[in-house]
Amino acid sequence: MKAFLMYKDRDFDMQEKLPSNAQTLIQDLELNTLFDAMAAGDNFLFQVAKKAVLTSLTDLDTITYRQDILKDCLKNSSVVREIYQIPIESIVNQKRQWMGVFTRYPAGILSGAREMLEMFLGLLRKLRNLADEHADRFESEGFSAFFAMIKKELDDEYLAAFDHHIKELKFRGGILISAQLGKGNEGTCYALRKPLTQSGNWVGRIFSQRRPVYTFRIAERDESGYRTLANLRDRGVNVVANALAQSADHIDSFFNMLRTELGFYLGCLNLSERLAEMGESLSFPVAVESWERRHSFHGLYDVCLALAMKRKVVSNDVNADLKDLVIITGANQGGKSTFLRGIGLSQLMMQCGMFVAAESFCGNVCNRLFTHYKREEDPTMKSGKLDEELGRMSDIVEELAANSLVLFNESFAATNEREGSEIARQITHALLEKRIKVFFVTHLYDFARGFHEKRTDNSFFLRADRQPDGQWTFKLIEGEPLETSYGEDLYDKIFGMIEDEQWRAGFR
């Protein structure tokens, strides 16, 4: 049995290797905030969310496949949570009472596997009942195939046969074993036999002629005899014990995979509920091929900022379709870095089959996503900040492929304006020539102005919005780069506070 709730034709692999820049993405996009919200305190869900989000999909059919399943989950969240509890119950039961598989004795393996299968039988019946009761409420291809598989594989005949075999394997009438004599009259060809069936009524069985049998009894304190008898029993049940243990392992693997694959959607449900409490919007993005240039959205916001602030945050509307380069300028604290983080988060969320934090979103998938953010001064660095930035850029270049997406946040500002602008200009030109999509947040006016003056069709410019009274709206508007960085705002903010404190101190 297979769940196939993450891919149409294969299991979700929790052992799949994460991209080499996974830790950088986690740091720059603050992804742990997203994973925490999806996990809701469950470390297993945290690991599933991390694996699913960071192992991005590029196949549009698989993205749509997961989106449709997630839509079903959002409409039937209580049923999905009830199904998820079945593999959880299996794990709890195993930890509490089942240790038979870890013994080396066939009789112990047989007993433990039988108990485990008996427990599984109850859970499979529960799963079948849920399928019978709720299957017609699900519309996605993934859930339709899943429930059809459950009804086919776990039909009444199968469950009845399952129950019958479990009862027989309890051997209430003793264990019947056959053997042959080999060389030196040693036993060989041991085989477990079905119990002899008794026909007729009890009167007939009492007076019926019995075939002669030879019996012997072991004395109560004959430990050697008991060990010999146990050895004979183990030889007889060995093959059946192994087969039973393999059957238990097969069902256990199914429940573990069901837990893993449903875990991703359960994380999405947890996240949607958290955001709904804040009044934030969610939508399913329209994903297009990587070679297209689509990036348009309405109401896009930084989901991690909303989760951290625990309230609704400022969103943005942008249409950057047919653009390869988006340059964002403006003074600090204007919402530029938050916007850039929202771009990266929405890309990852779209490409793992999730909803995105926006009222509407359309974008092309990218072959790889990279971030190049400024870093705080590190006293342990053996070289300067600029060398460190260029080293990280070199690492990115080693892995770049066409139709990737690179997010720059105030990169190459560790040197003077002229040198930093020239480095940024040359790197950006090289990326665009290789069909790499670029979002660049920068204070390098010469760099931004140079691209703006060329007025190429594939470039787009955004600027942090500032009101006439000096207030920042934290929204981005389409506009050319401005030479001023509004240093007077910072001066007034700092020295105005100092003067105010001094004024108040004079009246103490």
**Tell me: the pLDDT tens digits for 49-58?**
999 999 999 9
Q: Is residue 504 helix, strand or coil?
A: helix
Other C-beta atoms lying within 10 Å of the C-beta of residue 158? 13
Find, among 125, 86, 117, 88, the residue nearest to 100 by Cα.
117
Other C-beta atoms lying within 10 Å of the C-beta of residue 306? 23
The DSSP output letter for 183 is G
**199 pLDDT exceeds 60?**
no
C-alpha distances (whole Å) from 403 to each of 21, 215, 290, 369 are 17, 80, 6, 10
**Per DSSP, which regions of 182-319 are E strands?**
187-193, 286-288, 295-300, 316-319
Other C-beta atoms lying within 10 Å of the C-beta of residue 488? 10
> Rounded to 5 degrees, what angle do the CA atoms 136, 49, 3 make?
35
**364 pLDDT exceeds 50?**
yes
Percent of the chain whose pLDDT exceeds 90: 64
Instruction: Provide the β-strand partners of residue 373.
Output: 409
- 52-61, 100-109, 423-432, range with the lowest pLDDT: 100-109
Spatial separation of the C-alpha atoms in residues 151 and 147, rounded to whole Å: 6
Instruction: Give 348 or 231, the one with higher predicted confidence.
Output: 348
Spatial separation of the C-alpha atoms in residues 349 and 356, rounded to whole Å: 6
Average pLDDT, the chain: 86
Structure tokens at 111: 């007993």
**pLDDT value for 184:** 75
Find, among 327, 299, 341, the residue nearest to 458 by Cα.
327
**pLDDT value for 507:** 46
Q: With 0-12 CB in 10 A as exposed, 13-18 as middle and 19+ as buried, what is 395?
A: middle
Residues in the chain: 508
Find which of 60-64, 155-159, 200-204 is predicted with most confidence, using mean pLDDT.
Answer: 60-64
**178 pLDDT exceeds 80?**
no
pTM over the 0.75 mark:
yes
**508 pLDDT exceeds 50?**
no
- 43-47, 304-308, 333-337, 464-468, range with the lowest pLDDT: 464-468
Find, among 252, 248, 242, the residue nearest to 108 by Cα.
242
The DSSP output letter for 360 is E
- DSSP letters along 151-162, please? HHHT-HHHHHHH
Q: Which CATH class is domain 279-505?
A: alpha beta
Mean pLDDT of 423-450: 96
Mean pLDDT of 135-140: 97
Find, among 287, 345, 329, 336, the residue nearest to 314 by Cα.
336
Q: Is residue 248 helix, strand or coil?
A: helix
Percent of the chain whose pLDDT exceeds 70: 81
224-264 pLDDT, tens digit per residue, is 755 666 666 666 566 666 777 788 888 999 999 999 999 99
With residue 463 as reference, give the H or E element that holds it.
strand 459-466
Spatial separation of the C-alpha atoms in residues 481 and 441, rounded to whole Å: 11
Q: In what order do the strands lie in the sheet with 405-409?
A: 369-373, 405-409, 437-441, 325-329, 459-466, 472-478
**269 pLDDT exceeds 90?**
yes
Spatial separation of the C-alpha atoms in residues 146 and 164, rounded to whole Å: 26
**196 pLDDT exceeds 70?**
no
**81 pLDDT exceeds 70?**
yes
Mean pLDDT of 308-330: 96
Spatial separation of the C-alpha atoms in residues 74 and 67, rounded to whole Å: 10
C-alpha distances (whole Å) from 61 to each of 75, 286, 293, 347, 361 are 21, 12, 19, 16, 18
Mean pLDDT of 348-376: 96
